[in-house]
Amino acid sequence: MNYIILSDIHSNLPAFEAVIKAFPKKYDKIICAGDIVGYGAEPNECIKLLLSLGADNILGNHDAAVIGKMNSSNFNEYAQEAVFWTQAHIAGGSRNYLEGLEHIRKEDFFTAVHGTLHRAEKFQYMMTGADAMHTFEILETQVCFVGHSHLPGVFVSRNGRLTGILNERIPLQPDAKYIVNAGSVGQPRDGDPRACFCTYDTDKSEIGYHRVEYDVETARERIIDAGLPQRLGDRLLWGR
């Protein structure tokens, strides 16, 4: 099986469209690890496009906040303003779709969650080895895909040791488990403004990272023209 793993599209249609053009010619399934909406100016268009691809998705914290399943009071002021804007502009069908999403998706080859497997509904960030260990302790598949932090990278648990890696290609060892942050399609935060997504080839047992240039200026202009905070557009230029 050949999977494409996306996360944190955040209503950034130019980035999403560029990523789709960069997909491998052959793949079997698309998984989105949450946060289809938030920050950007085109939530309905991104949901419609994702549905047209037949993708399977899970709930992210911004998705949850927009539909009232999570209190956004702990979001920063810009993120919270984007939640309110999205609530005012999201179509009924898009809202219904978000309301049907689950916190965790488990398949034969992997598990996907937005933040952490433990207390998935709390959308905790996985930033440290300790955070990762809590998820490894309850992970039943070899691989777990996450998003949320917008920072690509892999935690590896093998022979009682925890390490971290980030390479363009990562071969999987049969005696190890992996937590793979897919990065962000719509709002990268690792200093690289290019959109990011992952591939997972189960036959080769290999994870691949892919970076894609897109029209950042257009995405920025659409955010500002929509009346969203300019900072949300500016940060796309910096990859922060």
Residue 102, beta-bridge partner list: 58
Instruction: Quote the domain boundaries for residue 113.
Output: 2-238
Phi and psi for 231 in degrees, rounded to 5? -60, -35
**Residue 68 pLDDT greater than 90, yes or no:** yes
Q: Give the pLDDT confidence score for residue 59 in this predicted structure.
A: 98
Tens digits of residue pLDDT in 4-57: 999 999 999 999 999 999 999 999 999 999 999 999 999 999 999 999 999 999
pLDDT at 206 over 90: yes
CB 141 within 8 A of CB 106: yes
Q: What is the token pair recorded at 219?
A: 């995405």
Portion of the chain with pLDDT greater than 70, in percent: 100
Model confidence band, residue 149 (pLDDT cutoffs 50, 70, 90):
very high
Buried b (16+ CB within 10 A) or exposed e, 125-156: ebeeeebbeebbeebeebbbbbbbbbbbbbbb
Confidence of residue 160 (pLDDT cuts 50, 70, 90): confident
* Predicted confidence (pLDDT) per residue in 76-128, tens digit: 999 999 999 999 999 999 999 999 999 999 999 999 999 999 999 999 999 98
* pLDDT score for 82: 97
Q: Give pLDDT, residue 35.
A: 97
Among the ranges given (13-27, 46-60, 141-155, 160-174), the one the predictor scored with the smallest mean pLDDT: 160-174
How many folded domains does the chain comprise? 1
Do 56 and 105 touch, CB atoms closer than 8 A? Answer: yes
Instruction: Say which CATH number the domain at 143 has.
Output: 3.60.21.10
pTM of the model: 0.95
- Residues in contact with 26: Cβ distance below 8 Å, sequence separation at least 6, in sequence order: 2
